Amino acid sequence: VENYGNALRHAGKFGGPPAYPLVGNGLLFINKSPAEFLQLLGTLIAKHGMCFRLWLGTQLLVLSTDPKDIEVLLASPKYIEKSTEYNFVRPWLGNGLLTSSGRQWQTHRKMITPTFHFKILEHFVEIFDRQSNTFIDILRLYAKSGETFDVFPLVTLCALDVICESAMGTKVNAQLNSESEYVKAVKEITNLIQVRFYDFIIRYEFFFRLSSNRRRQRKVLNVLHGYTNSVIQSRRQELQGTDSPTNTPDGVVANELESEVGIKKRMAFLDMLLQATVDGRPLTDEEIREEVDTFMFEGHDTTTSAISFLLQCMAKHPDVQEKVFEEVRSIVGDDRKQPVTMAMLNDMNYLDLVIKETLRLYPSVPMFGRKLLQNTEINGKIFPADCNVIVLPFFLGRNPDFFPNPEKFDPERFNVELSAEKTNPYQYIPFSAGPRNCIGQKFAVSELKSLVSKVLRHYEVLPPSEEQEESFMAELILRPERGIPIRVRPRVY
Ligand code: HEM
């Protein structure tokens, strides 16, 4: 109550739509579909500017697309507490890297950072390459028929295969077996979390606990945590050299590489966690599970969104597609079976620009938030204690003051001379910035390059037979409301 009074006092200085006692601006969001929600935010930004407040019930949100404020917020190690919305993912991810704060976040971030060293990333390139081969095989059917299809769910399964193998060292074979219990559970949990974002009632823990969603969530979490826990147990035993590979609940052999003669032992993210220490002690099983689950979530939904929109951009802009293909061909050659190496991916400079431009228009994380723990002055404004500051990369990327002619898809904005991301680093933040930026950025970009270059080596990506208008849902990640319809046809060269 004290904080509510304090927030009320200070919130008056921020502009924003008229708010009513207790419900605040909640009524604005009632009966809106997720797609309408993002449009509504756009309208509010146009009306109230780069920094304004919203009341969701008694919760104060300050929405920011002002790079100056965002710089203060993100560059400082002081403001690392995440906003209220992150509580919705806590039942699944606990206090993993995305959701934790304070000392736990600091020590874990320090421990996990070396895992993303470029030398270690090289081990994952083989996984990217192999899983994109499966993806190519699956597309063959659509290339044959020439029909329009939604590529989004296919990309989801591929990204899930990649992250499962990279994070846990196990194969769920999602692309070949989308009926797997684990795969279905991942899909269901992300749906259950997303509903809470927009449902004015079950945003509150009290009402959520009374809802049927809570019971469903419990069941799904049993599957998810059960799987991760059993993989952790079997990996731990193997590392101690006391046991042979164990079967996981999906009947998947958790570890199959180590014993094969001549194959270098590849470390999954999990193996590194099992050997790491914080404050001189090994991690508990629970801490390990939370970090692995965090990677499972952060590491597949985001890349799915990025890869899908990237493929859509290829379909819409054949000239750009042609240029990407020519670059890939000049690096990898004409043999379609040639596996791609990290060195080759690093050489794909034009594809880099294309990825940057795709993430400007379609940032996989369209918004993220921080909670301020005390009254905080930022550029002369007092942000009250307990308020949630919501940063909106989606609208930053579409602001004509920052990116002239923003609707135009133009990868050259990011070339060495124009270098749109360096001119003001806080206008372009698809991976966030500062100490709490995306730890998986390099992993993600390599995965994107690997999959998209493989697709272009086999297929031409074409627009759907009937164009449709773009419509987005800003959920945990940016999703197309009606999927990503494309066509493919075998590439001749
Ligand atoms: C195109 C793909 C991706 C995009 C656009 C992206 C974007 C982001 C953004 C904006 C944040 C900050 C979120 C916040 O402040 O709450 C973040 C954090 C994070 N990302 Fe990514 N991400 C991507 C891929 C990945 C991948 C592949 C992984 C893991 C393999 C990953 C792991 C993480 C983790 C663990 C955090 C939390 C870091 C921390 O709080 O210290 N991300 N990501």
Concatenated DSSP letters of 140-169: HHHHHH---EE-HHHHHHHHHHHHHHHHHS
Q: Which residues 6+ apart lie within 8 Å of 207 measured at CB?
A: 201
Count of CB atoms situated within 10 Å of the CB of 189: 22
Q: pLDDT at residue 248 above 50?
A: no
By the 8 A CB rule, do 84 and 102 touch? no
Please give the Cα distance from 223 to 183 (Å, whole number). Answer: 10
**Which residue's entry shows tokens 């070949």?**
176
Q: Would you place residue 69 in the very low, low, confident or very high pLDDT band (cuts 50, 70, 90)? A: very high
Closest CA to ligand 1's atom 7: 431
For the segment 10-27, the average pLDDT, to the nearest whole number, is 87
Q: pLDDT at residue 267 above 80?
A: no
Q: Which residues pair with 388 in a beta bridge?
A: 61, 371
Cα 134–chain centre separation: 22
Q: Give the per-residue pLDDT at 1.
A: 67
For the segment 14-30, the average pLDDT, to the nearest whole number, is 86
Please give the Cα distance from 38 to 23 (Å, whole number). Answer: 20
Q: pLDDT at residue 129 above 50?
A: yes
Q: pLDDT at residue 34 above 80?
A: no
Distance 436 CA to ligand 1 centre (A): 9
DSSP class per residue in 378-441: ETTEEEPTTPEEEE-HHHHTT-TTTSSSTTS--GGGGSTTT-HHHHSTTT--TT--GGGS-TTH
For the segment 470-487, the average pLDDT, to the nearest whole number, is 91
Q: Give the per-residue pLDDT at 266.
A: 57
Ligand 1 atom closest to the CA of 116, numbered from 1: 30
Q: Give the per-residue pLDDT at 247.
A: 44
Ligand 1 atom closest to the CA of 365, numbered from 1: 10
Q: Give the per-residue pLDDT at 263.
A: 33
Q: Give the per-residue pLDDT at 98.
A: 96
For the segment 406-410, the average pLDDT, to the nearest whole number, is 97
Q: Residues 210-242: pLDDT tens digits?
A: 999 999 999 999 999 999 998 898 888 887 775
Residue 438 annotated in ligand binding: yes
Q: pLDDT at residue 93 above 60?
A: yes
Q: Which residues pair with 370 in a beta bridge?
A: 82, 389
Helix (H) or strand (E) holding 76: none
Choice between 453 and 24, residue whose per-residue pLDDT is larger = 453
Closest CA to ligand 1's atom 41: 436
Distance 444 CA to ligand 1 centre (A): 9
Q: Give the per-residue pLDDT at 9.
A: 87
> What does the mean pLDDT of the chain come to?
89
Please give the Cα distance from 99 to 228 (Å, whole number). Answer: 18
What is the SS3 assignment for 95?
A: coil
Least confident of 251-260, 375-384, 451-460: 251-260
Please give the Cα distance from 38 to 390 (Å, whole number). Answer: 13
C-alpha distances out from residue 34 to 81, 122, 127, 189, Å: 26, 38, 34, 17
Distance 299 CA to ligand 1 centre (A): 7
Q: Would you place residue 259 in the very low, low, confident or very high pLDDT band (cuts 50, 70, 90)? A: very low
Around ligand 1, the residues with Cβ closer than 6 Å are: 82, 97-98, 109, 294-295, 298-299, 302-303, 306, 364-365, 368, 430-432, 436, 438-440, 443-444
Q: pLDDT at residue 109 above 80?
A: yes
Phi first, then psi: give them for residue 54, nearest 5 degrees.
-135, 145
Closest CA to ligand 1's atom 27: 299
Least confident of 118-127, 206-215, 262-271, 432-441: 262-271
**Token reading at 305:** 């969104």
How far is the first Cα of the chain from the last one, in angstroms, to the nearest whole number? Answer: 69
Least confident of 116-125, 140-149, 198-207, 238-247: 238-247
Distance 98 CA to ligand 1 centre (A): 8
The arrangement of strands across the sheet holding 485-490 comes to 149-150, 485-490, 459-462
**Which residue's entry shows tokens 């042609």?**
322
Q: Give the per-residue pLDDT at 133.
A: 96
Reduced 3-state DSSP string for 464-483 = CCCCCCCCEEECCCEEECCC
Ligand 1 atom closest to the CA of 167, numbered from 1: 30
Distance 281 CA to ligand 1 centre (A): 26
Q: Would you place residue 264 in the very low, low, confident or very high pLDDT band (cuts 50, 70, 90)? A: very low
Q: Would you place residue 401 in the very low, low, confident or very high pLDDT band (cuts 50, 70, 90)? A: very high
Distance 405 CA to ligand 1 centre (A): 28
Please give the Cα distance from 87 to 203 (Å, whole number). Answer: 10
Please give the Cα distance from 394 to 427 (Å, whole number). Answer: 10
Q: Give the per-residue pLDDT at 32.
A: 81
Q: Which residues 6+ apart lie within 8 Å of 277 measured at CB?
A: 111, 283
Please give the Cα distance from 115 to 253 (Å, whole number). Answer: 24
Ligand 1 atom closest to the CA of 99, numbered from 1: 40
